[in-house]
Chains A and B, each alone.
Chain A
């Protein structure tokens, strides 16, 4: 429990330091713009990243043979290669070498694996001084900290802090002027390259067919480290192998573009063997470190993580990283990739909190140049964490005891709809719907309703309303099954009734299999696979029996559940998985179906102008189901004029149980960002296609500006139809 407490404190203090979060947001925004510019023109990011993934996968499969080839070629050019099974062995190798050379000072350029190895501490313990020469790393070294970002190690520090550190180091009073601080580093460190006995660099590539390494840098310190001292040590993880120069060049086309939006960094340096140094041949040692990588290669579910080229992008776009920074959300490696590498290099135990800190927005998976589905791997690790450490009392009861039992779950919700009455209030924009303003203090955590209204459970769930709905469809074109999902069933049943109205208007009949249950994603996201499997079965059974042409969801998380996860969850049984696959092929998000199957925006015409709406892209709709044009087309056709908000596809902070149970504070910060961008548009309506986002945004907007309405696209379409009649 001790680690839980320290972790909680770290989260709190990060959240109480808005300056850092502000800086990371500014950085995140600027990053997106420069990245977009860098990929402009004839480059196809999707094709490039698939290509890179293939290269890295082939390297994984042939790694033994390629490693041998690399070693043979490197040795032929005069290098000495040492394979270290872990970071400790790697450190010891350098310590012995330094002692043999009687070395007093090692000038280092950036190497993440040396951070992993706590190299500096290990060497200093033996009386060997190390001097970081990368500006960011030097700042961190002077501050006695660890990097909080893989590309920009000192991104969490401000120029005033840097000035203070440099003043102490130089004994002069320095002003916080960035240009002059950079100059101080230039002057201070220059002598070190000449004095150092050993220069240490990392490697971005180990090129098998040449036996050389590649270094991608901007400052020029790696070139000095590799040139001036008589001995050059290369410190690298074994996963940096590529087959050929061509592979490496392909990575140089992706890495800088995706890391900093540069077309190429200032320097890319290719070094093979014992190049001449001061009239002699240089002594070059290449230390290749396993340190948990082989185990990661062997993990089928997680091994894609070793495709990583360390561009740092998965941090740049991550809402959790932007809120709490890399010192909280990560360890040696940070953010999405950090969660995974921490689990493998430092142990699952060290990663247990951060696997839960991910909100599941999939931004990382969308931006990764190596096509790693980071979010999915994190999810897998969370399941392991739950298996080993449990998931906490509240969720245990909720998922295991209640949700698996459909009858109990649904009657509890009915009871809740009655119990909550004393605490509900009228809502400003849709007055007929009560909301929970404050919960009785003893009921839940104080922070729960302080910053957002909670939705109340609907008086009558969709499943109970459905029986009373008369559908007027003369020549039915399709029979669709409606997978309602918990949000639309119990909180926003009006989304479901709206869907029936819109579909009926397009001659589509809706059936509702009453045996359907929760899609299981909340349980799965909390790492409870067992409940997930059980729920998948219940739903597959209900919808197979219904014999429908399509299955529609109004919640993109449910769409992902039915479309992608049921098949996986039921993979062990051929019978079930065949059924699940058949359903998967028929499952679509409602907007996707309306637009791409029914061509609703062409068919439905003659609407009155409805005013401006702004659109929020739900994480799972855009990145999970690749649907984002469709709702906009529908809204525009329905007479609404869509005005875009900034970063419309940035997470709203919901993440299911994340916002309620595991990380309400982080969630709150992410939501605050969203509220600000919504307010900046000046539209009185925010449309979205996800009941989860509705819970979050209705709640937060309710407190921030009660005049802004949050509604599902389908609701707005039904209203537009009403206006026509």
Chain B
């Protein structure tokens, strides 16, 4: 498979599980998209990529209410969480977030909506091809928390009826933006 078929395969698989996938031209456009969909505070963890791309400033300029305090005090259900990702997997429509930094975990578990910014260059073919970067992330003996996220939170525990938004975010939006970073170890 070529990177291009990975991309289309990824988009299809992600949509199949209820993820909203949108391709945008720049992080500014992504910020505008996010501003339109949010209606409350947004948790934006200060990761390496967020700093590099000055994400908080871009979001603020677009009108997103970027939360500036301790994420644990942002309420039980903040409106949005906005993060980058390390890489993605085409066959299942999954994004992978190295979430050892606690704020990434809070920004991706608590909010109603989770926005993920993905560089199409980081889309791998499938979860077998993810073994290598996963092993790389676990080199040494530092604590690690890595999350695979495939669509919004769901349950079928009442009468086997698929219901979205059980404990995690009710909506997952993936924004594909070229040129974020092709380094799978960066988030």
Contacts and interface: CB of A to CB of B under 8 A. Distances in A.
Interface of A: 23, 26-27, 30, 73, 76-78, 133-136, 139, 152-155, 157-159, 162, 178-179, 181-183, 185-186, 189-191, 194, 210-212, 218-221, 223-224, 226-228, 244-246, 249-250, 252-253, 260, 262-278, 281-282
B102 A278 contact: yes
Given A220-B168, A223-B105, A153 B157 contact: yes
A196 to B, nearest CB: 13
A266 B142 contact: no
A272 B144 contact: yes
Given A186-B165, A266-B168, 13 more contacts: A154-B157, A154-B158, A210-B138, A211-B141, A218-B153, A218-B156, A224-B110, A245-B134, A249-B130, A264-B94, A266-B153, A270-B148, A276-B102
Interface string B66-78: 0000001000110
Given A227-B109, A275-B143, A281-B143, A182 B165 contact: yes
What are the 5 closest A-B residue pairs judged by CB atoms, nearest first?
A220-B168, A273-B143, A136-B157, A76-B141, A219-B166
A354 B157 CA distance: 26
A249 B134 contact: yes
A665 B169 CA distance: 46
A276 B143 contact: yes
B157 A152 contact: yes
Nearest to A253: B127
B184 to A, nearest CB: 14
B100 A218 contact: no
A227 B102 contact: yes
Interface string B143-184: 111111111111111111101011111000000000000000
Interface string B90-125: 011110000011100110111000000000000000
A264 B152 contact: no
Contacts of A253: 127-128
A77 B91 contact: no
Nearest to A180: B163
Contacts of B154: 218-219, 266
A189 B161 CA distance: 20
B13 interface: yes
A662 B149 CA distance: 48
Contacts of B93: 263
A158 B159 contact: yes
B91 to A, nearest CB: 7
Given A78-B143, A212-B144, A273-B141, A186 B167 contact: yes
Given A23-B159, A152-B160, A272-B138, A249 B131 contact: yes
A266 B148 CA distance: 8
Contacts of B147: 223, 267-270
Given A155-B160, A186-B166, A220-B168, A267 B150 contact: yes
Residue from B100, B147, B167, B169 whose CB has the most chain A CB atoms within 10 Å: B167
Contacts of B13: 263
Contacts of B2: none
Contacts of B155: 135-136, 182, 218-219
A354 B110 CA distance: 43
A181 B76 contact: no
Interface of B is mostly: loop
A45 B48 CA distance: 41
B135 A245 contact: yes
Contact of A162 (B128, B145, B158): B158
A178 B128 contact: no
Contact of A133 (B101, B131, B167): B167
Contacts of B141: 73, 76-77, 211, 273
A277 B100 CA distance: 10
Contact of A276 (B100, B110, B138, B158): B100
B12 to A, nearest CB: 11
A221 B131 contact: no
A270 B134 contact: yes
B127 A252 contact: yes
B51 to A, nearest CB: 18
A275 B167 contact: no
A129 B161 CA distance: 30
8 contacts: A218-B166, A220-B109, A227-B105, A227-B109, A249-B131, A263-B17, A266-B152, A272-B144
Q: Which of A27, A191, A262 has the most CB of B within 10 A?
A: A262
B100 A134 contact: no
B161 A178 contact: yes
A181 B149 contact: no
Given A273-B142, A275-B143, A275-B144, A265 B150 contact: yes
A249 B128 contact: yes
Nearest to B18: A266
B127 A264 contact: yes
B137 to A, nearest CB: 9
Contacts of A212: 138, 144
Contacts of A224: 109-110, 167-168
Given A220-B109, A224-B109, A267-B147, A178 B169 contact: no
Nearest to A133: B167
B164 to A, nearest CB: 8
A429 B54 CA distance: 82
The residue in B108, B109, B130 that gathers the most chain A C-beta atoms within 10 A of its C-beta is B109
A508 B166 CA distance: 66
B138 to A, nearest CB: 4
Contacts of A226: 145
A269 B166 contact: no
B82 to A, nearest CB: 17
A272 B153 CA distance: 23
Nearest to B160: A27
Given A221-B166, A264-B148, A266-B153, A77 B161 contact: no
Contacts of B135: 210, 244-246
A168 B77 CA distance: 24
Nearest to A75: B141
A220 B150 CA distance: 11
A715 B165 CA distance: 57
Contacts of B128: 249-250, 253
